Structure 1
Amino acid sequence: MSFHEMWAELLPVGRSAASGGYRRFAWTGADTDCRAWFRQQAEGRGLAYEVDRNGNQWAWQGDPAAGDAVVTGSHLDSVPDGGAFDGPLGVVSAFAALDALRERGARFTRPVGIVNFGDEEGARFGLACVGSRLTAGAVTPEQAHRLTDADGVTLRRAMEAAGHDPDAIGPDPERLARIGAFVELHVEQGRALDLSGDRVGVASAIWPHGRWRFDFRGEANHAGTTALADRRDPMLPYAETVLAARREARLAGAVATFGKIGVEPNGVNAVPSLVRGWLDSRAPGQDGLDAVVTGIEKAAREHAAAHGVDLDVVRESFTPVVEFDHALRDELVRLLGGAAERSVPVLGTGAGHDAGILAGRVPTAMLFVRNPTGVSHSPAEHAAEDDCLAGVDALTDALEGLACT
């Protein structure tokens, strides 16, 4: 099956007719359909298929028990109303690259694996990269079991409903020990390649990033009868904190976003009692990120006090800076440069990935495919088919250089 055929087959799964975006959330019907697609692709190629204790899917060319395997892949879930490329491009390209290697008559000297990591986006339970975090021991089973979605459904219950054993989740050092290198292909979530005119680039590092929850607690009251001077309205310090986040990020050359909000009682004619906002912040370095978040929290507390509002701040997740394995990165640059010794761009990113989670346990690297607008996490996310095919070629060359003679 060609890249185009695989892409067309996966494209409708989990797509919203209303927004045109994707709602492929962990352990839902759309996720089940994506998993069925992955299994079909694996078994249709005669690959050994398995699901690990954390719900990640694997397809193997050769015996993974032999060790020193070269693994590629990404994820199939999405953010709410996300684009088609973030995650799926890496999985579809992995199968297409393996097909290309077989067509070349490549002789495999190392096992090659393709993976679909579960719940990378964290759209349902609020924690990104759950599948890879559990595997790498970056989150404990107890912490994972406590995760709940917006409807109060726990991760444990959701996994059970989908037919997976939640008591089996946890670190998987034996599986990680099989992997000699992990290479994740991903659409670029920015415009660096478009500006440089390159179709494909190699990642250098992932910025440190995290998510913080800000709970502003005031007093519910009648919107029509409560004098402005008598209000303890948590919406006001929240709004001022959003503006402070933009200011602090701009000064530090970082990014900071309040993209999710919850309001109680959420009535048009009611002063809210609670405004809960989630901050996502990222920066090129740890000192910069610390400065941004500290500045935002300081401003939030000052504004909350001025309006008689209480504030709690909770860090829900954090990932330090990830430097991808230098030797593997340089080898990819060499392999992609080819005999012509053409220049291959190396660029950093503010987006988190499963490759970043695994980087502390196995050598990892990433390839980026050009995104002409830089838009991501949106139905407008796009990559031209020619650029996608260039990504497949690059991944094929990388796998051939790493896993074949």
Structure 2
Amino acid sequence: MTQPIATRKADADRLWSTLRSMAALSEDGPGVSRLAYTRLERRAHDLFGQWMTEAGCSVRVDPAGNTIATRPGRADGPAVGTGSHLDSVYNGGRFDGIAGTMAAVEVARLLREAEVETELPLRFVAFAGEEGARFGQACCGSKLAAGLSSRRELDERCDRDGISLAEAMESVGLDPDLAASTPWCPADWSAFVELHVEQGSVLDSAKIDVGVVDLISGSTRLELVVTGRASHSGGTPMRGRADALAAAAEAVLVAERLALDPRHRGTRATVGRLTVEPGSITTIPGAVTFSLDVRDIDADRQRRAATEIVGRMRAVCLRRGTRLAVRLLADTSAVVLPDWVRDEVTDSANELGIPYRVLTSGASHDAQMINRVTPTAMIFVPSRGGLSHVPEEWTDPAKLAVGTDLLVASMLRLDARAAAATRQATTRQATTPRAATPRAAGTRASQASHAGGSESRGDQA
């Protein structure tokens, strides 16, 4: 199946200008700091909505805080979507998430300028709260859209200041009850393609402009608290101590050693946050709270690794006269993305003459959650040096433009496919003796557009 590409090429200079304008919405300090469910994040969503309105789209905000811009097609039906997120980690980079949302803006602009009509609507999404930096849970907005978060979870997830996710949502005018009870309807979507920076070095090292993702890693995130005995640093002999920090330091190395073990090839274990109490130069640490993030493309190995790391940490703490408490923050399985959507992306790359590489994603993404709503694909563009989540993060705007060209071509192919499936479903409905309800017909049309890849849709590997 082919679809004429009757659009202009993406404008690298315009992409860079748009991206810089978005990145300027940041807290003071190095890099970009725009945390989930803050007023600053909502300002970014407002700016995204303004640009999409100017590009001819209607804009709304769903109960989870995701901003959705819709470009109408010749007919109503399940839409092809694209987008990414606008929040950042503390002192992050200008491209993580922003690149994908700015690519969505550029797609809408290109289609408007070229006066391209699609068969069915297209949707462009800026997801809320993708980063787990604030609440320990990644993909908050897309999880709510996929119906994967409960109201209780919104109360239990808290930031470092004790503010719950639900409270943060309310502070920016969102209703957590409505958010937890109003997921997206699968019949409204036919497919979704997210563009994102790679956050790794595969494409940069290979000098390839585009990657197409086949699998997204899972993640088990834990909060661990080592409790020892605070005491005077001068008055307490070394052999009589229950030093919580010394135990935590050894525990961190336990995680590193296990992930380096050949039995766990592909496992990544990271301690990214550590808080020491009471935090005095002259006091032996009495308590240490730290995070553990275990990732893998194999869900069973991921969870076995997390369990084994915690077991070894308990042994360390017992030997050192300290105690270990563990709290699960989040647990997400790896997701295999549907072959048929990826094939539409790679066929578009071949049509455009864009070399690509199929690769896995070690990072979590909104597409991972939205795959529970509709079949998804991901396009990666290179990250220089593989750096991400740091101010030095960089993607060449010219390579972002190449990824955007592939994105618009893929969306047009997917739109043509969904339109054909919708027509087939309508024909079947017309020839069926008993007329189906409009809702049932819409559902069958959406399901028909998923044909060929449903066996891997939303499955958690």
Letter in 1 for 2:247: P
Residue in 1 aligned with 2:370? 358
Q: CA deviation at 1:63?
A: 7.0
Structure 1 segment 69-108 matched on structure 2, within 5 A: 69-108=79-118
Letter in 1 for 2:82: T
Q: CA deviation at 1:344?
A: 2.7
Cα RMSD, aligned residues only: 2.0
Q: CA deviation at 1:113?
A: 0.5
Letter in 2 for 1:138: L
Secondary structure of 2:324's match?
strand
Residue in 2 aligned with 1:327? 340
Q: TM-score, normalised by structure 1?
A: 0.94
> 1:59 and 1:273 mapped to 2: Cα distance?
51
Residue in 1 aligned with 2:170? 160
Residue in 1 aligned with 2:134? 124
Secondary structure of 1:275's match?
strand
Residue in 1 aligned with 2:300? 287
Letter in 2 for 1:367: I
Is the contact between residue 187 and residue 370 of structure 1 (CA under 8 Å) also seen in structure 2?
yes
Identity of counterpart residues, as a percentage? 35
Residue in 2 aligned with 1:33? 43
The C-alpha deviation readout for 1:119-168, integer Å capped at 9, x for no partner, is 10022222111111112121201111222221122222222221222332
Is the contact between residue 262 and residue 275 of structure 1 (CA under 8 Å) also seen in structure 2?
yes
The C-alpha deviation readout for 1:98-136, integer Å capped at 9, x for no partner, is 222233332211110011111100222221111111121
Secondary structure of 1:393's match?
helix
Residue in 1 aligned with 2:64? 54
> 2:133 and 2:75 mapped to 1: Cα distance?
33
Unaligned runs of 5+ in 2: 1-10, 420-461
Q: CA deviation at 1:84?
A: 0.7
Which 10-residue stretch deviates more, 239-248 or 82-91? 239-248
1:213 lines up with 2:223 in the alignment:
yes
Letter in 2 for 1:285: D
> 1:125 and 1:351 mapped to 2: Cα distance?
17
Is the contact between residue 133 and residue 139 of structure 1 (CA under 8 Å) also seen in structure 2?
yes
In the alignment, which of 297, 300, 303 is matched to residue 316 of structure 2? Answer: 303
Secondary structure of 2:384's match?
coil
Secondary structure of 1:345's match?
strand
Q: CA deviation at 1:403?
A: 2.1
The C-alpha deviation readout for 1:297-347, integer Å capped at 9, x for no partner, is 12201110011111112221111110011110111111111165x653110
Using a 3 Å threshold, how does the CA distance of structure 1 residues 359 and 174 change in structure 2: closer, same or farther? Answer: closer
Is the contact between residue 101 and residue 400 of structure 1 (CA under 8 Å) also seen in structure 2?
no
Residue in 1 aligned with 2:429? none
Residue in 2 aligned with 1:314? 327
In the alignment, which of 237, 246, 249 is matched to residue 256 of structure 2? Answer: 246
Q: CA deviation at 1:34?
A: 0.6
> 1:23 and 1:175 mapped to 2: Cα distance?
32
> 1:272 and 1:8 mapped to 2: Cα distance?
43
Which 10-residue stretch deviates more, 90-99 or 331-340? 331-340
1:262 lines up with 2:275 in the alignment:
yes
Q: CA deviation at 1:176?
A: 3.7
Letter in 1 for 2:404: V
Residue in 2 aligned with 1:144? 154
Letter in 2 for 1:351: A
The C-alpha deviation readout for 1:190-239, integer Å capped at 9, x for no partner, is 11112222101110001221211111111121122111222111112211
> 1:243 and 1:146 mapped to 2: Cα distance?
29
Secondary structure of 1:259's match?
coil
Is the contact between residue 194 and residue 372 of structure 1 (CA under 8 Å) also seen in structure 2?
yes
> 1:293 and 1:64 mapped to 2: Cα distance?
50
> 2:184 and 2:21 mapped to 1: Cα distance?
34
Is the contact between residue 57 and residue 71 of structure 2 (CA under 8 Å) also seen in structure 1?
yes
Q: TM-score, normalised by structure 2?
A: 0.83
Secondary structure of 2:378's match?
strand
**Matched residue pairs, number?**
402
Secondary structure of 1:170's match?
helix
Letter in 1 for 2:398: D
Residue in 1 aligned with 2:427? none
Letter in 2 for 1:26: A
Is the contact between residue 185 and residue 368 of structure 1 (CA under 8 Å) also seen in structure 2?
yes
In the alignment, which of 370, 379, 387 is matched to residue 375 of structure 1? Answer: 387
Is the contact between residue 218 and residue 310 of structure 1 (CA under 8 Å) also seen in structure 2?
yes
Letter in 2 for 1:139: S
> 2:206 and 2:375 mapped to 1: Cα distance?
27
Q: CA deviation at 1:65?
A: 10
Secondary structure of 1:279's match?
strand
Secondary structure of 2:374's match?
coil
> 1:44 and 1:150 mapped to 2: Cα distance?
38
Which 10-residue stretch deviates more, 216-225 or 98-107? 98-107
Q: CA deviation at 1:366?
A: 0.3
